[in-house]
């Protein structure tokens, strides 16, 4: 079955077929690529060792590692948007409220806003960001050691929390980034032409209003060399980016879904879908959000090829300060202290 959308996690990727079935491939060390039986979804997102989805009924489902509570998603509510970080996730419901769960070492979960109406949320490595109905939340939650939680004043329409930096699209469609800038990942291109932005490990990418992609930061693995063409959406993984092609630009206005023929490209890989009876990735979210007076994000959906298995790092060998480095072309991750499991053993970490 053709994929109509996909989301790369840290070491695995999941996608949704044209019949709403979820498929996953790649690393499955903690069961993050082993799906719940019969799962159908409208949105899927991947973290380091966990994966979450919004089902067709608007419920949340998570699977994979639960050592930091990554799979303990809320069991009630109707959810419109979802973002997964390293060991935590955040979601936005149909009332504009935010829920976060999972690892909370830097208070990226417990310090979430508990009042107000929010229109977007993004979970990064160890911080979370949200856009209010007005300006970007001035108290971005989580780690602050590298300035990733210190947003400049302004009014924003999209936000992406990376590893040690954050980028956002202002209401005038220009870009702003802050945090670690060791690879110029927080130095965006000029111009007021952008709709969406993604951020990962030492890189950032943005989608223009005409559907072209710009990337900046670390050039390892070809991240800063995006494919040419016209795209509808981009999605950022830890060390790679995928984009969904479509014959239709700009983003459709809210209304009933219309069929299209689309393809997705990632690092030399192309997959073309058949005639698709479903709305564009993210169109359902925007329609549902409009019904509740919100503007939900429509980011991070594309297809990607399987990645080679990457062995774990030994404990204590990963970098720990500043902007993380990658030890192998397979895509390692930054350092963070290992966590203990329920059995008391020390968990191995890839970074």
pLDDT for the residue 261:
29
Residue 131 in any domain: the answer is yes
Is the CB of residue 43 less than 8 Å from the CB of residue 80? no
CA distance 217 to 326: 14
For residue 346, is it within any domain?
no
**271 pLDDT more than 90:** no
Return the pLDDT at 270.
28
pLDDT > 90: percent of the chain:
49
Q: Residue 247's Cα: distance from chain center in Å?
A: 24
DSSP conformational letter for 222: G
pLDDT at 312 over 60: no
Hey, which of 21-25, 56-60, 235-239 has the most confident mean pLDDT?
56-60
Q: Which domain holds residue 270?
A: 3-291
Predicted confidence at residue 142, as pLDDT, reads: 52
pLDDT band at 186 (very low <50, low <70, confident <90, very high): very high
> What number is the average pLDDT over the span 178-192?
94
Is residue 133 very low, low, confident or very high in pLDDT (cuts 50, 70, 90)? Answer: confident
Q: Which pLDDT score, from 0 to 100, does residue 128 have?
A: 92
- How far is CA 22 from each of CA 38, 42, 43, 212, 236, rounded to the nearest angstrom? 8, 9, 9, 28, 19
Question: Residue 146 — very low, low, confident or very high, per pLDDT cuts 50/70/90?
Answer: low
Q: Is residue 223 part of a domain?
A: yes
How many structural domains comprise the chain?
1
CB distance 329 to 29 below 8 Å: no
Q: Is residue 41 part of a domain?
A: yes
Output the pLDDT for position 182.
94
Judged by DSSP in three states, 246 sits in strand
Share of the chain above pLDDT 70, in %: 65
pLDDT at 144: 56
Least confident residue range of 126-135, 169-178, 305-314: 305-314
CATH number of the domain within which 207 lies: 2.130.10.30
pLDDT bin (cut points 50, 70, 90) of residue 135 is: low
Q: Please give the pLDDT value at position 325.
A: 40
Q: Is pLDDT above 50 for 298?
A: no
pLDDT-derived band at 149, boundaries 50, 70, 90: low
Nearest by Cα to 42 from 306, 305, 307, 298 = 298
Q: Is the bond into 201 cis (omega within 30 degrees of 0)? A: no
Query: Comparing 45-54, 126-135, 217-226, 245-254, which segment has the lowest mean pLDDT?
Result: 245-254
In a domain, 309, yes or no: no
139 within some domain? yes
Region of 344 (left: φ > 0; alpha: ψ -120 to 50; beta: rest) is left
In a domain, 312, yes or no: no
SS3 at position 330: coil
The model's pTM: 0.68
User: Which runs of consecutive H residues, i.e. helices, occur in the chain?
Assistant: 283-291
3-8 and 50-55 as β-strands: parallel, antiparallel, unpaired? unpaired
Q: d(Cα 59, Cα 41) in Å, to the nearest integer?
A: 9
For residue 335, the 8-state DSSP code is -
Mean pLDDT across the stretch 46-58?
95
pLDDT at position 145: 56
pLDDT recorded at residue 82: 95
């Amino acid at each position: 079955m053709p994929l109509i959308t996909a989301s790369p996690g840290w070491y695995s990727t999941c996608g949704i077929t044209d019949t709403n079935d979820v498929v996953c491939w790649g690393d499955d060390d903690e069961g993050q690529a082993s799906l719940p039986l019969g799962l159908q979804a409208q949105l899927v997102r991947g973290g380091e060792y966990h994966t979450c989805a919004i089902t067709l009924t608007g419920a949340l489902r998570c699977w994979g590692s639960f050592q930091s509570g990554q799979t303990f998603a809320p069991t009630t509510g109707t959810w419109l948007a979802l973002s997964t970080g390293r060991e935590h996730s955040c979601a936005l419901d149909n009332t504009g409220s935010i829920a976060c769960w999972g690892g909370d070492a830097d208070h990226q979960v417990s310090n979430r806003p508990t009042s107000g109406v929010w229109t977007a949320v993004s979970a990064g490595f160890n911080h979370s960001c949200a856009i209010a109905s007005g300006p970007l939340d001035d108290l971005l939650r989580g780690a602050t050691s590298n300035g990733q939680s210190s947003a400049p004043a302004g009014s924003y329409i999209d936000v992406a929390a990376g590893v040690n930096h954050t980028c956002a699209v202002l209401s005038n469609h220009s870009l702003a980034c802050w945090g670690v800038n060791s690879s110029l990942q927080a130095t965006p291109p000029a111009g007021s032409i952008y709709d969406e932005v993604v951020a990962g490990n030492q890189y950032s990418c943005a989608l223009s209003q005409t559907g072209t992609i710009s990337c900046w930061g670390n050039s390892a693995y070809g991240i800063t060399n995006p494919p040419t063409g016209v795209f509808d959406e981009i999605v950022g993984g830890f060390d790679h980016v995928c984009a969904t092609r479509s014959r239709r630009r700009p983003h459709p206005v809210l209304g009933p879904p219309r069929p299209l023929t689309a393809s997705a490209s990632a690092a030399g890989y192309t997959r073309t879908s058949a005639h698709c009876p479903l709305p564009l990735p993210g169109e359902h979210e925007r329609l549902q959000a409009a019904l509740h007076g919100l503007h939900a994000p429509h980011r991070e959906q594309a297809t990607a090829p399987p990645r080679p298995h990457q062995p774990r790092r030994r404990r204590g060998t990963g970098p720990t300060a500043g902007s993380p480095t990658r030890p192998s072309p397979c895509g390692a991750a930054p350092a963070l202290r290992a966590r203990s499991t329920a059995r008391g053993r020390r968990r191995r970490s890839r970074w």
